[in-house]
Amino acid sequence: MQAQLNSKAENPKKKPIIFSGIQPSGMLQLGNYIGALRNFKLLQDDYDCLYCIVDLHAITVRQEPAKLRKLCYELVALYLAVGLDPERSLIYCQSHVSGHTELAWILGCYTYMGELQRMTQFKDKTAKHAENINAGLLTYPVLMAADILLFKSNLVPIGADQKQHLELTRDIAIRFNNIYGNVLTVPEPFIPKVGARIMSLLEPTRKMSKSDPEDTYISMLDSPDAVRRKLKRAVTDSEASIRFDAESKPGVSNLMSIYCSLTGSTLRQIEDDFAGKGYGHLKSAVAEAVIETLAPIQSEYARFMSDKGALDQIINNGAARARSLADRTMATVRKKVGLAPM
C-alpha cells in the first residue's frame, strides 16, 4: 500500500486514490452501510483506499468521552468485519494525523462564510443542536475538504447527503490551485445508484442517522429480534399498495429501497412480487434481508473485537502510514502559501 501510494512519477501504474470517513458518533446504521461502508470493500481492489474514523468531526456534537474512545475501536473492528483488508486499505483515526487540522486551518482561509452558512447539513445540525451551535459545526466542511485533499484523493464514496460538501471541497481546491498552481487534486464523488439515501424508519422524510433516537434506525449490531421489531413499527401509509413513490409514499419507498439494495431486486420486481400483499409482508421480507446481511458481519465483528492488541496494531500502523503521506502534501502546501520553512 505504501508503495502503491507513491507518486505517479515513481510508479506509473499508480491506482486512483479513494478517501472516505465515517464519524464515530454512534454505532453505524444501515444507511451508513448501504450508502458507504459496503462500497468500501468493493473499491479496495481497484483503488488505493484510505478509510478514516473521523473522530474530530464527531466532536462538533457533544460526545461522551469514554463512549467516543470505545466507538473508534468498534468502528475499526466493523471496517474489518465488512471485509476491509488493512494490508490493502489504509485504516486509521483522523485525530492521529495532525495534517488534517493543519490543512483545515489553511483551507479555511480560502473558504467564504456564505459558502459554509449555505450548507444543508449546517442548517439541519444547528436546528437539531440549538443549545450548542459551535464554530466546528460551521467549519465542518472545511475539515472534510482537508481530509480529502490531504491525500490527493481522486474519488470519494459518499451518500447523497454529502454531495454538497464534496462540491465545496472541489470549489476550495480549484480556488487554491488558481492561486498557487496545480497543488491539490480535485476529487470526484462516487455515489451508489441505489440506497444513496436510506430514510428514518419513523420519519421517512428525514435521512436515517445513527445519532437519532434508537427506534428510527437499524444499528449494524442489532439482534434479529430488534430488526424485526423496528421494521414492524416502521411508518408506512394508509394506501395499502406496494409501489415506489418517494414523494407521496416515503415510508414504503424507503422499505423498497432497502430491500432492493440488499437483495439486488429491482423496484419493478418488488412491485410485481408483492402485488396484492399487505405492508406486513414487505416489512417481514425487508427484516429477513437485513438480518441475513448483518449476521456474518456481526460474527466477524465479535472476532475482531476479541483481539484488542491486533486492533491497536492496525490503528497505529494506519496512522504512521497516513502521517507520512500527509506530510508530503503539507510540505508542498506550506511552501506554496509562504509559511516559514521548518
Let me know if 41 is a catalytic residue: no
Q: Rounded to 5 degrees, what are φ and ψ at 21?
A: -135, 155
Q: How far is the CB of 138 from ligand AQP (least distance, A)?
A: 15
- The residue (of 43 and 208) whose beta carbon lies closer to ligand AQP is 208
Residue 177 or 211 with smaller CB distance to ligand AQP: 211
13 is catalytic: no
Please identify which of the residues 152, 210, 230, 283 carries the catalytic annotation.
Answer: 210
The nearer residue to ligand AQP, 36 or 262, going by C-beta atoms, is: 36
Taking CB under 6 A as the rule, does residue 209 contact ligand AQP? yes
Among 17, 18, 19, 23, binds ligand AQP (CB under 6 A): 23
By CB under 6 A, name the one of 31, 141, 204, 318 that touches ligand AQP. 31
Q: Does 100 bind ligand AQP (CB under 6 A)?
A: no
From residue 97, give the alpha-carbon distance in Å to each of 56, 86, 151, 251, 329: 11, 17, 12, 41, 13
Catalytic residue flag (residue 210): yes
Cβ-based nearer residue to ligand AQP, 22 or 78? 22
Q: Does 219 bind ligand AQP (CB under 6 A)?
A: no
CA separation for the pair 327, 196 (Å, rounded): 33
- Is 165 a binder of ligand AQP (CB under 6 A)? no
Phi-psi category of 135—alpha, beta or left, where left has phi over 0 and alpha has psi -120 to 50? Answer: alpha
Residue 151: CB atoms within 10 A of its CB come to 25
Binds ligand AQP by CB under 6 A, chosen from 165, 170, 197, 230: 197
Q: CA-CA distance, 72 to 53, in Å (whole number)? A: 7
Q: Over the Cα atoms of the chain, what is R_g?
A: 21
Binding to ligand AQP by residue 25, rule CB under 6 A?
yes
Q: Does 158 bind ligand AQP (CB under 6 A)?
A: yes
Cβ atoms of residues 3 and 194 within 8 Å: no
Any idea what DSSP says for residue 307? Answer: -
Which of 159, 204, 250, 251 binds ligand AQP (CB under 6 A)? It is 159
Please, what is the Cα angle at 99 between 93 and 103, to 5 degrees?
125
**Minimal CA–CA distance to 56: which of 150, 157, 131, 120?**
150
Binding site for ligand AQP (CB under 6 A): 22-23, 25, 29, 31-32, 34-36, 158-159, 161-162, 196-198, 207-211
Residues taking part in catalysis: 125, 207, 210
